[in-house]
Chain A
Amino acid sequence: MGKQKKTSEIIIQIDGKEVKAAEGMTVLEAAQKADIFIPTLCHHEKLEPYGACRICTVEAEVRGWTNLVTACLYPVEQDLVVRTRSEKVDRIRKMILEFLLAHAPCSPQLQDLAQEYGADRDRFEKESSFCILCGLCVRYCAEVKKKNAVGFVDCGARREIRFIPEIAAKECHSCKECFELCPTSYLQAAFVLTESFAFSRDSSPPELKK
């Protein structure tokens, strides 16, 4: 965002520290530049900001008004005051983690954050779908690889990711770059399942054909 054009400098405050930012930057970018940590789950520097996990929610104060905003999307502006931790922010992050731990209780990334925010991984009944729907794989495949071999299906509580067998059979064996992005390792399982159920015999990689 805004990386292409040279723009005027903006001074903002994050956690009491003065931070220089440029117009068009997001709060997250400004914070990262100043080595201030804001947790993220669905963010990746190569991808367009998405704003789905909401774990990067921070308090943003503009002209005396404080709002809860997502750091990965909120654009910086002059005299913006950001608080990356507050009672409210922590409470939100804690519950988001508890929501997600019901689906992926063993994700190391979630466990680390859970410790920081005192999230109870057994707060909500387990519904181990393993996927937390961060969309990193879907967006990486669409935005970077431009293949759309994996996508979201359905909506609301039934939303899930699926490999599209016709595309995945052709594209995925030589790529698999999205695997390491997955915070829960569910993606690999989903791929193997798709491979075994839905790939046609001809599309198997040469080494398996023998």
Chain B
Amino acid sequence: MPKINSASELEKLRKEVLSKRDPDKPCIAICAGMGCLSLDNGRIISAFEKEINKKLKTKVDMRATGCHGYCEKGPLVVIYPEEICYVEVLPKDVPEIVSQTVLGKKVIDRLIYTDPDTGQKASHQSEIPFYKNQMRHLMSNNTKIDPRSIDDYLAVGGYFALSKSLLEMSPEEVLEDIKKAKLRGRGGGGFAAGRKWETARNAPGKEKYVIVNSHEGELGAFMDRALFTGNPHCVLEGLIIGAYAVGSHQGFIYTRHDTPQLKSNIETALAQAEEYGLLGENILGSGFNFNVEVHLDIGIFVSGESSALMKSIEGNTPEPRPKYIHTSVKGIWGKPSVLNNVETWANVPLIINKGSEWYAGTGTERSKGTKLVSLSGNIINTGVAEVPFGTTIREIVYSIGGGIPKGKKLKAVHFGGPMGGSIPESLLDTPLDFDELAKLGAPIGAGSMLVLDEDASMVDVARYFLDFLSSESCGKCVPCREGIRQMLKILNNISDGKGTKGDIKLLEEISEVTGAASLCALGKTAADPLRSTLRYFRDEYETNIDKVKSPAEKRE
């Protein structure tokens, strides 16, 4: 494959790829995302391969795609061009799908989605409530491409934004677009991406770095790996554009050591992009050079924290450093470094392609675009959903998530994992928005939404997260390490019926010190789940403490 040297060559290649594809030719898209993979979809993929290899090789295409999002109903199979969606497919269904649907163009009733409440059936993805109520700007391509094929990405318009940026726009113009789009970091902080890029761009020094944070350590968060595994080129394209805007020639992808599929898809994407001339020297003939290195994490939660992550890339222990000087000024090896989350980078090509005005048309006043959320806990539809900012939490939980199983009542929705907070049922009409949720003490975090029903104990929720953090903090600074230790002890006591009257006050006092004096964001927010549960579910703590038996009772 000769390297692509200009916009016209890229366009020519895209047309070539498309010309070889017949839009009417049947194609079977099998979800090979993390969730379906664990449901043994490998057997389904090989069953399809067997069926097709028999006699249909030229007549039918198939691809193992990234996550479709609807993990609850996996393994998922979508048959194109009709876009018929089959749920909970088993290997034994495969021959029938091929003969009946792919060839016979008939829908198999038993395999399509049935609404558990109304009994209504939906044969197309777009008719299923889980998908119907989403706005899938980033995730929709996951069903359309094989993550290991750059041609598939080109076929859906991939790398057009890169060519537009490098060949038609100045770095300043790209930066201006990102700023105008009001893109905010999706990793948890919600910091304005454009401002971060600008700081790094203006920071002294020739060498600058751009980094994808694909650590995704937040408990209950699985949207980044769904997106990155399923559409790695989209994130990579965003990263290269960002590098161009910042003036960086070296990028890093910091990702999980425990997800081999993700790692292998990233590496394939990098190799293909390089082969096509979209990475490396003189990208698309623009004169811009950029390389990317993949770095695996060491599997501790705090290594996703920006300064710890950068230390890890340097080859040191991932311990955070205070950021009195921002990492966008002094990051890896003291050089200006822009760290953005997977989802943030994935938004970049979209902004360049469709324009900042179009982009800023979605969302709320201060939170623009869409947000990926991962739904888990006591919810009917577990999975990855993408909604515009401003969608109410109620809509996400009920219209997309399908509500609470077994007719139970919802008690709380917990955002942001161990550094997040819970909101009670009464606040479900709050819109999904960085600032609105932060005001309620339940910052959106990276986007994990843990739904809890009436049986959940909120004391246990707080205890669970602190227990997690007690071994996942680095342990360097005293307020975080010791504060977590002491708060966890008190919560254990309360849970075990050994709580005492002053416990709540002491918890509040410790959480204040931990929040104010810790070194990094992990320590500063470690008590947030505790604080939010104390704010909205104080009675549960009090009841637990009041239940404590007197010494006389205990002896009995």
Contacts and interface: CB of A to CB of B under 8 A. Distances in A.
A complexed with B: yes
Interface of A: 51-55, 57, 68-70, 73-75, 88, 91-92, 95-96, 99-100, 102, 124-125, 132-133, 135, 152, 154-159
B486 interface: yes
Contacts, number: 96
A54 B481 CA distance: 12
Given A156-B484, A159-B481, A51 B321 contact: yes
A156 B519 contact: no
B84 interface: no
Contact of B478 (A73, A91, A96): A96
Nearest to B514: A95
B513 A95 contact: yes
B473 A156 contact: yes
Contacts of B519: 51-52, 54, 70
B321 A157 contact: no
B479 A92 contact: yes
Given A156-B471, A156-B475, A133 B481 contact: yes
B516 A88 contact: yes
Contacts of A158: 471, 475
A88 B509 CA distance: 12
Interface string B462-496: 00000001111111111101111110110000000
B484 to A, nearest CB: 7
A76 to B, nearest CB: 11
Interface in B490-528: 509-510, 512-513, 516-519
Contacts of B472: 155-156
A152 to B, nearest CB: 8
Nearest to B472: A156
B479 A155 contact: no
22 contacts: A51-B519, A52-B519, A54-B478, A54-B479, A54-B518, A73-B322, A74-B322, A74-B324, A91-B513, A92-B516, A95-B509, A102-B486, A125-B489, A133-B475, A133-B481, A156-B471, A156-B473, A156-B474, A156-B475, A156-B484, A158-B471, A159-B474
Contacts of A55: 478
Nearest to B325: A75
Contacts of A70: 322, 519
A52 B489 contact: no
B482 A99 contact: yes
B427 interface: no
A152 B300 CA distance: 15
Contacts of A95: 479, 509-510, 513
A42 to B, nearest CB: 9
A157 B475 contact: yes
A92 B475 contact: no
Contact of A54 (B475, B477, B510): B477
Contact of B476 (A52, A57, A124): A52
Given A95-B510, A124-B486, A156 B478 contact: no
Nearest to B482: A99
A166 to B, nearest CB: 20
Contacts of A155: 300, 302, 471-475
Contact of B479 (A96, A133, A152, A159): A96
A92 B476 contact: no
Contacts of A124: 486
B470 A92 contact: no
A25 B462 CA distance: 41
Contact of A75 (B324, B473, B476): B324
A92 B485 contact: no
A29 to B, nearest CB: 14
A128 to B, nearest CB: 14
Interface string B302-339: 10000000000000010001101100000000000000
| Residue in A51, A68, A158 with the greatest tally of chain B CB atoms within 10 Å | A51
Interface in B129-146: none
Contacts of A54: 477-479, 517-519
Nearest to B318: A155
Contact of B485 (A51, A69, A88, A157): A157
Nearest to B320: A51
B469 A156 contact: yes
A55 B478 CA distance: 9
A2 to B, nearest CB: 13
Contacts of A157: 470-471, 473, 475, 481, 484-485, 488
Contacts of A154: 475
Top 5 A-B residue pairs of the complex, sorted by shortest distance between their CB atoms: A159-B475, A99-B482, A156-B471, A157-B470, A95-B513
Contacts of B470: 156-157
B478 A53 contact: yes
B493 to A, nearest CB: 10
A155 B481 CA distance: 9
Contact of A99 (B300, B471, B474, B483): B483
A75 B489 CA distance: 36
B485 to A, nearest CB: 5
A52 B523 CA distance: 12
Contacts of B322: 51, 69-70, 73-74
B481 A156 contact: yes
Given A133-B481, A155-B471, A159-B474, 18 more contacts: A52-B519, A53-B477, A69-B324, A73-B322, A74-B322, A88-B516, A96-B478, A99-B478, A102-B486, A133-B476, A152-B317, A154-B475, A155-B472, A156-B475, A156-B484, A157-B475, A157-B488, A158-B475
A88 B473 CA distance: 24
A102 B322 CA distance: 26
Contacts of A92: 479, 513, 516-517
Contacts of A152: 317, 475
Most buried by A among B321, B477, B517: B517
B486 A96 contact: no
Contact of A68 (B473, B474, B485, B517): B517
Contacts of B509: 95
B517 A57 contact: yes
B226 to A, nearest CB: 28
Nearest to B506: A123
For B324, B488, B518, the residue with the greatest tally of chain A CB atoms inside 10 Å of its CB is B324
Contacts of A159: 474-476, 481
Interface string B95-116: 0000000000000000000000
B134 to A, nearest CB: 37
Of A74, A75, A133, most B-chain CB atoms within 10 Å:
A133
A179 B478 CA distance: 21
- Chain A CB count within 10 A is highest, among B300, B470, B479, B483, for B479
Contacts of B474: 155-156, 159
A89 to B, nearest CB: 9
A91 B516 CA distance: 11
B508 to A, nearest CB: 12
Contacts of B473: 155-157
A55 B325 CA distance: 21
